[in-house]
Chains A and B, each alone.
Chain A
C-alpha cells in the first residue's frame, strides 16, 4: 500500500506542475482573444475614453506579466477573483458583488448533476453492451450495437440533440426540450428535465466505452487461462464476467474516466441546445463578453477535472491489477 501512496503523491505533484503550465497557456490564450471586456460590454458606445476608463478600473491597462502573477497569486490562495461584469458596475461600494467562485459554484454543481445522471445511464449500458458484444462477437447483435453506437458518436452532438428533441419532445412529448432546472427544484422534476441532455450525452460517450470493453475482453479470450476456464466447462457468460472482465478492468476504467472528464468539460454544446444552466453555458456567456476572470476559472476547473479523473483512473487500474499493486 505504501507504494500506492507514493505513486499518488507523485502523480499529484505532477498534476500540480501540469496545472501550472496549463494556467500559463490559458492566460496567454484567453488574453490573445481579439477585443476585450471594455469593447465587448460597450458595443456601439465604445468611445476611446470610456474604453480607457473601464480598462483602468479593471486593471486591463497593466502589462500581461503583472496581470498573470496577480491572478496566480489569487489562485494560490483559492481566490478566483471577481468577474469584470460585476466589478464594472459595483458603484454601490463593493457590497452585493458576487465573486467568481460564488458564480461558478451553482453552475458547476448543475453540470456535475448532469454528468452523474449521464454516467449512471451510460457506464452500465456501455459495459453491458460491451460484454454482450464480446459474448456474441461477429453476430448480427454485435454488428448492430457497433453500428448504432459508432454512428451516434460520429454525428455532431447538436444533431443528436435535435434528433432526440424531434422524437422525444415534439412527436412524442415524453420529455421537455427545455432543461431549465433551478435551485430548489424537486429531485424528480430535475431528473425529468435533465433526461434529454443526459440521453444525448449518453449517445455520445457510450460508443467509446462499449468498444473498449468489447476489445479488452476479446483480447483476453485468447489467453490460456480463459481456455482453461472454458475447458472446465463454464458457461461463456460466466467465463467473461468472472474470468475475463476483472482482468480487462484497467483499460475500461481508463476509458470511463476519460469519458467522465468529457462529461464535465465537453458539455458546452449540449447545455446551449437544452438551455441547461451548467458551467458550459456560463463559459460561453463569459467568452462572449470577454469576462476573463470567469473564463480562466472555468478553464482551470476543466483542466483540474481532467487531471484528477486521469489520476483516479490510474490509481484504480493499479488497484485492480495485482501485478502493479505488488511490484517486485
Chain B
C-alpha cells in the first residue's frame, strides 16, 4: 500500500507513543491539593473555541488542562503522542497514518474516535474560517477514517514535521456532532473538567477521576486560573500568597520576589525573539554588504543587558532558538565590530550611510530604546541611523512589512520548517525581509528539501546550513532572544526540566506540576 519508511517510523512516532503511555521517566509526584495561578493574556471575548486562542490564559486553560490535541511537545522539546498513540509516514512524508488512543472519553461520556479527529480538523477549513491554524490544515489534501481508531492524511506536499504541527494549540479535539456544545461548555478529553468559566475573569476545573494519562500527569485535584492582566496586581497576588504561580514577572520589582524565601523564579530561553527586518528588495538593503555592515554595527550583548535587563540571550540573526530541535549550537556568534562594519560599507562602495529605523513599543517593550542603542553603536562604523518613533496603533498594518527597516517580534515556532514557512519562505505574506531573490536561492532550495526529509541527520545538516546562510546573508537582524520569566510558590513542585516553547512550562502547569 504505502512504503512506510523504517527510519520515519522509528524517528519519533511509535517509540514516543509507547514511552508516553507507560509514563516511565516521571518521578513519583503526589496527587491532591489545589493549584491557583494568576495569568495574563485573558480577555472578555475568550471562549473554548481553540481557533481563536492567542494568549496564555486560554492556551493554559484549553490545551493545558481541558482539551487535548493529537500530539504534544514534551518539556524537553521532544514530540510525544497525546490522543494519537503513534504515527507513521510514507517515504515522501506525504501520507501519514495516525493511530488513535483507545478507550478515551470526552467529559460528557462520549467515546473519542476517528470521526472526532476529522470533524475537529474540518473546523479550521472553509473560506470564512478565521482560524490561525488554517494554513496547517489546508495543507492536508484528503483525510480519511481508516478504522474507528486510525486516520490517514494525504498532504499536498511532503512534510516531515506534520506530527509536530498537530501539536499546535489551535488544533484541539472536539466531540463530533457536539462541537457547538463543547465550545459553549468546554467539553474536551483533557485531565481537568471545567467547573466554572467566566471569560476574562477566571476558570476553575477539577481532575477527571479516570483519565487515560493515569497517574503520570495531572496531579492536582482542582485548579483555578485567575485572569490578572495588570503586572503589579499579579505580583501582589503572588507575594500575598493568593496565587501559587504567575507568568511574566515585572523585572523592576524582581528583587522583591527574589528576597522572598517562599518563592522561586523560573527562567527559560525559548524561541521568542525580537527582530529587525530589512526589506531586501529595497535599496540600500538589497546589497548584502550593507546588510553585513549593519549586522556588525549592532551591539547585541548591550541590548540583552539594557533592553532585557539580562533576561535573554544574544541572537545570531536566525529565528531558530534553543527550543528548536535543530538549533545550530556550533555556529560562530556575530559580535559588535565597527571596523568590520566599515569594511563591508567600503565593499558596498560607501564611506558612510544614512538610514531610517522605524520602531514602536508595539513591536516589543523597549524597541525605541533598542533603536537608540543601535544608533549609538552603529555610528562608530559610519552608519547613521535615524530612529523614527512610530505610533503603536496600526503598527502592524502600517509599519511592519511596509517600512524598509523596522522593529518586530516573533514568539517562535516549535519546528524550524514552521518558522521558516511563516516568515522566510519565498512568497509567504509574512516574509518580512522579502528575501526571495537570486541570492536566497540556496536557502529556499534547502527549505523545500528539509521539509520532506525524514532522515534526522540529513535534516540537521540542512537546517544548520540554513541558519548559517541566514546569519551571513539574511535580511533580518535578530539581536536577542527574550526569556520567559515566571515565578512559583515553593508550595508547588515543578519538574527539573521546564518547557521553553511557551510560558509556564508550555502552558501545561496543570498537567506537570504538583503540590510539593
Interface residues of A (CB under 8 A from B): 34-35, 39, 42-48, 50-51, 54, 83, 85-86, 88-89, 91-93, 95-96, 103, 106, 162, 165, 169-170, 173, 176-178, 180, 182-183, 272-275, 277, 281-282, 285-286, 289, 291, 294
Instruction: Determine whether the beta carbon of A177 is less than 8 Å from that of B49.
Output: no
Chain B residues contacting A173 (CB-CB under 8 Å) are: 240-241
Given A178-B226, A273-B233, is A92 in contact with B394 using a C-beta cutoff of 8 Å? no
Instruction: Determine whether the beta carbon of A92 is less than 8 Å from that of B180.
Output: yes
Kindly state whether residue B52 has any CB partner on chain A within 8 Å: yes
Instruction: Determine whether the beta carbon of A180 is less than 8 Å from that of B226.
Output: yes
Report the stretch among B196-204, B322-330, B370-378, B479-487 that lies at the interface.
B196-204
Chain A residues contacting B241 (CB-CB under 8 Å) are: 173
Instruction: Determine whether the beta carbon of A178 is less than 8 Å from that of B233.
Output: yes
Kindly state whether residue B228 has any CB partner on chain A within 8 Å: yes
Instruction: Determine whether the beta carbon of A272 is less than 8 Å from that of B397.
Output: no
Residue of A nearest to B127 (CB): A53
List of 7 A-B pairs having minimum Cβ-Cβ separation, nearest first: A85-B45, A35-B393, A34-B393, A46-B397, A277-B201, A178-B242, A178-B237
Kindly state whether residue B396 has any CB partner on chain A within 8 Å: yes
Picked from B54, B196, B393, the residue with its CB within 8 Å of the CB of A182 is B196
Report the minimum CB–CB distance from A208 to chain B (whole Å): 27
Chain B residues contacting A282 (CB-CB under 8 Å) are: 44, 200
Docked CA distance A177–B226 (Å)? 13
Instruction: Determine whether the beta carbon of A83 is less than 8 Å from that of B201.
Output: no
Docked CA distance A289–B52 (Å)? 14
Given A47-B429, A86-B45, A89-B130, is A169 in contact with B396 using a C-beta cutoff of 8 Å? no
Within 8 A of A (CB), among B228-245: 228-230, 232-233, 236-237, 239-243
Instruction: Determine whether the beta carbon of A176 is less than 8 Å from that of B129.
Output: no
Q: Which of B227, B232, B243, B397 gathers the greatest number of chain A CB atoms within 10 Å?
A: B397
Chain A residues contacting B130 (CB-CB under 8 Å) are: 50, 54, 88-89, 91
Instruction: Determine whether the beta carbon of B243 is less than 8 Å from that of A178.
Output: yes
Kindly state whether residue B179 has any CB partner on chain A within 8 Å: yes
Given A44-B400, A85-B44, A91-B129, is A177 in contact with B242 using a C-beta cutoff of 8 Å? yes
Picked from A35, A50, A165, the residue with its CB within 8 Å of the CB of B236 is A165
Q: Which of B47, B201, B391, B394 gathers the greatest number of chain A CB atoms within 10 Å?
A: B201
Chain A residues contacting B213 (CB-CB under 8 Å) are: none
Not counting A48-B397, A180-B226, A275-B227, a sample of 18 additional A-B residue pairs whose C-beta atoms are within 8 angstroms of each other reads: A34-B391, A43-B54, A44-B396, A45-B430, A46-B396, A85-B44, A91-B129, A96-B184, A165-B240, A176-B242, A177-B242, A178-B240, A183-B198, A273-B232, A277-B201, A282-B200, A285-B200, A289-B43
Chain A residues contacting B44 (CB-CB under 8 Å) are: 83, 85, 103, 282, 285-286, 291, 294
Docked CA distance A75–B8 (Å)? 61
Instruction: Determine whether the beta carbon of B396 is less than 8 Å from that of A92.
Output: no
Report the minimum CB–CB distance from B60 to chain A (whole Å): 16
Picked from A46, A89, A183, the residue with its CB within 8 Å of the CB of B52 is A89
Kindly state whether residue B496 has any CB partner on chain A within 8 Å: no
Q: Which of B183, B233, B408 gathers the greatest number of chain A CB atoms within 10 Å?
A: B233
Map CB proximity to A onto B276-297 as digits: 1 under 8 Å, 0 otherwise.
0000000000000000000000
Chain B residues contacting A281 (CB-CB under 8 Å) are: 200
Instruction: Determine whether the beta carbon of A182 is less than 8 Å from that of B198.
Output: yes
Given A47-B429, A178-B226, is A285 in contact with B43 using a C-beta cutoff of 8 Å? yes
Instruction: Determine whether the beta carbon of B396 is less than 8 Å from that of A182.
Output: no
Within 8 A of A (CB), among B178-220: 179-180, 183-184, 196, 198, 200-202
Q: Number of residues in B with C-beta < 8 Å to the partner? A: 45
Picked from B38, B45, B196, B227, the residue with its CB within 8 Å of the CB of A289 is B45
Given A45-B396, A182-B198, A286-B44, is A96 in contact with B183 using a C-beta cutoff of 8 Å? yes
Instruction: Determine whether the beta carbon of A277 is less than 8 Å from that of B236.
Output: no
Chain A residues contacting B233 (CB-CB under 8 Å) are: 177-178, 272-275
Instruction: Determine whether the beta carbon of A272 is less than 8 Å from that of B230.
Output: yes
Docked CA distance A48–B227 (Å)? 32
Chain B residues contacting A44 (CB-CB under 8 Å) are: 396, 400, 408, 430
Instruction: Determine whether the beta carbon of B240 is less than 8 Å from that of A273.
Output: no
Picked from B38, B45, B391, B396, the residue with its CB within 8 Å of the CB of A42 is B396
Chain B residues contacting A46 (CB-CB under 8 Å) are: 396-397
Docked CA distance A273–B235 (Å)? 11
Picked from A48, A91, A169, A294, the residue with its CB within 8 Å of the CB of B128 is A91
Residue of B nearest to A180 (CB): B226
Report the minimum CB–CB distance from B394 to chain A (whole Å): 5
Docked CA distance A85–B44 (Å)? 9
Given A48-B397, A86-B45, A178-B243, is A275 in contact with B237 using a C-beta cutoff of 8 Å? yes
Picked from B45, B54, B239, B391, the residue with its CB within 8 Å of the CB of A170 is B239
Docked CA distance A252–B429 (Å)? 63
Docked CA distance A83–B46 (Å)? 12
Kindly state whether residue B34 has any CB partner on chain A within 8 Å: no
Docked CA distance A48–B394 (Å)? 11
Instruction: Determine whether the beta carbon of B230 is less than 8 Å from that of A273.
Output: yes
Kindly state whether residue B94 has any CB partner on chain A within 8 Å: no
Docked CA distance A137–B132 (Å)? 68
Instruction: Determine whether the beta carbon of B201 is less than 8 Å from that of A180.
Output: yes
Instruction: Determine whether the beta carbon of A89 is less than 8 Å from that of B198.
Output: no
Picked from B129, B132, B180, B232, the residue with its CB within 8 Å of the CB of A96 is B180
Q: List 20 A-B contacts (CB under 8 A).
A: A34-B391, A34-B393, A34-B394, A35-B394, A39-B394, A44-B400, A45-B430, A46-B397, A54-B130, A86-B45, A89-B51, A103-B44, A178-B228, A178-B233, A182-B202, A275-B228, A285-B44, A289-B43, A291-B45, A294-B44
Given A169-B240, A178-B243, A180-B201, is A83 in contact with B396 using a C-beta cutoff of 8 Å? no
Report the minimum CB–CB distance from A274 to chain B (whole Å): 7
Chain B residues contacting A48 (CB-CB under 8 Å) are: 397
Docked CA distance A273–B183 (Å)? 31
Residue of B nearest to A43 (CB): B396
Instruction: Determine whether the beta carbon of B202 is less than 8 Å from that of A180.
Output: yes
Chain B residues contacting A178 (CB-CB under 8 Å) are: 38, 226, 228, 233, 236-237, 240, 242-243
Report the minimum CB–CB distance from B461 to chain A (whole Å): 32
Report the minimum CB–CB distance from A201 to chain B (whole Å): 16
Given A92-B179, A277-B201, is A51 in contact with B226 using a C-beta cutoff of 8 Å? no
